[in-house]
Amino acid sequence: MSSPPLAPPAQPDRPATSASAAQSSGSPTVIRAAGVSKKFVAYSKRATSLKERFVRREGASGEDFWALRDIDVQIGRGQTVGLAGANGSGKSTLLKVLAGILRPTSGEVAVNGRIASLLELGAGFNGELSGRDNVYLNASLLGLSKREIDRLFDSIVDFAELRHKIDDEVKHYSSGQYVRLGFAVAVHVDPDILLVDEVLAVGDEAFQRKCLDKIAQFRSEGRTILFVTHSLDLIENMCDRVLVLETGNLIYDGQPAVGTKLLRQRLGSLPVEGGAVPYDLSPVKPTAVTFSRDPGGAPQVQYDPGEQLTVSVELDLTDHAPQHVYLHVDIMGQGEVPIWMMETPPGGISPGSGIVAVDFVVPRLPELLGAFAVSVRVSDAATGQPVTVRRFEDLFGVSGPQVAGLLRVDYQAGLRR
Ligand SMILES: Nc1ncnc2c1ncn2[C@@H]1O[C@H](COP(=O)(O)OP(=O)(O)OP(=O)(O)O)[C@@H](O)[C@H]1O
């Protein structure tokens, strides 16, 4: 791993964008990932024979698969950070890249401090060796001398509650016993930074409690902790910050309560209107509406019937925005009654990234009376999936010739007896 000088840490608090990152928490950065991507080669079908495996290695017939895409993250000293996301979203891969176990395909990782990691079941253990030998092997890989390990050995074994098994070969351990020993070593090597994968879920409840207490102790000692978990409650209770991954993209970096809410919505366990995400968390944020006579013209809020009106919807598109979006605009009257609607053409628009405005031009306003607001819906034009909705408070007015009612309708009055 390269170690360029570390910049001030980030403590972002908003959906991640490639420019995300840099709100300073004041504490020095201990981990920095800049533009980190990781590509694997994915085979649609498992190799079923030795020959097939051999041919694959020669012929590179797999497809490239990006497990991480352009991740920018800075972790400040003393932060407890949760990594969350659906299965396969890239959490473990990110942890391994940060630990220096996997090399990123592109981008850079810099770490400042001693890292201890408990990454996946048995990682770093040699099944043919006894628990005792593995403790020595693991701890020395983490930088401890033999004398230091001699001093810590009993405490490690007691923490793991494996004294009766310590001279058995590790291949005969249960998965829970593996994890106990791995965690015991990791927390005894006095790390500045602790990286823990979901492995805690393997231990029994009592051991999980013990691990969580240890993590809490580390946290109070100002050490830096990153852990992967599917328990969103744990993130809300133990973390200062959450990173939410989705198909290799960092889609949120910030407050645990906001990140877990976003993830629950993404996983479908927390419904939002039409399955969309709140606009402030969305990869496409409708940020403003303006009213003017001509596109890009001076803002104007009062109109006469028959005049031209342009409703401009400003969108802030992150790098994670769908390529084609579809915009649906409802003009809302009093009592939230939709008066008319406007849409982008079938197939949507391809607005690129950054801030853009979409103009809806109404050449002749109908004969209306009243004040009107705008509600915007964004969906992914390729899939039809709702992305976000936003009801704006901004109003424009139309003053028709009528004195009451919404609409002027031609009529004749007659008398009959
Ligand atoms: N060595 C590898 N070779 C090919 N693909 C891999 C490799 N390691 C991981 N992947 C793929 O990369 C993607 C991300 O995997 P990763 O283990 O990081 O996800 P995760 O978020 O930790 O998932 P889970 O919650 O299921 O543990 C997955 O689609 C996985 O199949």
Query: Is 315 domain-assigned?
Result: yes
When divided into structural domains, the chain yields a total of: 2
User: Could you give the residue ranges of the DSSP H alpha helices within 142-272?
Assistant: 146-160, 175-188, 205-220, 232-238, 256-266
- Is 246 in the same domain as 354? no
Where among 224, 253, 273 does a domain terminate? Answer: 273
Residue-level pLDDT at 42: 66
Where among 228, 255, 273 does a domain terminate? Answer: 273
Residue-level pLDDT at 20: 37
Query: Is 327 domain-assigned?
Result: yes
- Is 307 in the same domain as 261? no
Beta bridge partners of 313: 289, 358
Query: Is 415 domain-assigned?
Result: no
Query: Is 14 domain-assigned?
Result: no
Q: What is the 56 CA–ligand 1 centroid distance (Å)?
A: 20
**CA proximity to 389, closest of 336, 326, 309, 345:** 326
- Is 293 in the same domain as 251? no
- Residue-number span of the structural domain to which 345 is assigned: 276-399
Query: Is 96 domain-assigned?
Result: yes
Q: What is d(CA 11, CA 400) in angstroms, rounded to the nearest whole number?
A: 52
- The total number of residues written for the chain in this structure: 417
- Is 155 in the same domain as 205? yes
**In the numeric block, which tokens belong to residue 369?**
């009376």
Residue-level pLDDT at 199: 64
- 226 Cβ contact partners less than 8 Å away, ≥ 6 residues apart: 31, 75, 81, 82, 83, 95, 98, 193, 194, 195, 196
Residue-level pLDDT at 359: 95
- Which atom of ligand 1 approaches the CA of 38 most closely? 12
**In the numeric block, which tokens belong to residue 365?**
């306003």
Determine the residue of 44, 46, 65, 196 to mutate for testing ligand 1's pocket, defined as the one with the most ligand atoms within 8 A of the Cβ atom.
65
Query: Rounded to the nearest 5 degrees, what angle is found at the Cα of 394, between the Cα atoms of 388 and 398?
Result: 120
Q: What CATH number does residue 371 fall under? A: 2.70.50.60
Is-contact 314 299, C-beta < 8 A?
no
- Is 314 in the same domain as 211? no
Residue-level pLDDT at 119: 75
Determine the residue of 37, 38, 39, 40 to mutate for testing ligand 1's pocket, defined as the one with the most ligand atoms within 8 A of the Cβ atom.
40
Query: Is 386 domain-assigned?
Result: yes
Query: Is 20 domain-assigned?
Result: no
Q: What CATH number does residue 230 fall under? A: 3.40.50.300
- Is 33 in the same domain as 181? yes
- Is 317 in the same domain as 359? yes
Residue with CA closest to ligand 1 atom 11: 67
- Is 318 in the same domain as 244? no
| Cα atoms found within 13 Å of the Cα of residue 349, Cβ hemisphere only | 18
Where among 250, 273, 296 does a domain terminate? Answer: 273
- Which atom of ligand 1 approaches the CA of 245 most closely? 21
- Is 70 in the same domain as 38? yes
Three-state secondary structure call for residue 412: coil
Tens digits of pLDDT across the chain (417 residues) = 433 334 333 344 444 433 333 333 567 899 999 999 999 886 545 555 555 555 544 444 567 889 999 999 999 999 999 999 888 899 999 999 998 889 999 999 999 988 888 776 556 688 889 999 999 998 888 888 999 999 999 999 999 999 999 999 998 888 788 888 888 888 888 889 999 887 666 667 788 888 888 888 999 999 999 999 888 888 988 899 999 998 899 988 888 888 888 888 777 655 555 556 667 777 888 999 999 999 999 999 999 999 999 999 999 988 888 888 999 999 988 767 788 999 998 878 888 888 999 999 999 999 888 889 998 988 888 887 778 888 888 899 998 776 677 777 787 888 898
- Which atom of ligand 1 approaches the CA of 89 most closely? 21
- Is 84 in the same domain as 224? yes
ipTM confidence: 0.97
- Is 239 in the same domain as 90? yes
Task: Give the pTM.
Answer: 0.62
Residue-level pLDDT at 387: 84
- Is 227 in the same domain as 329? no
Query: Is 283 domain-assigned?
Result: yes
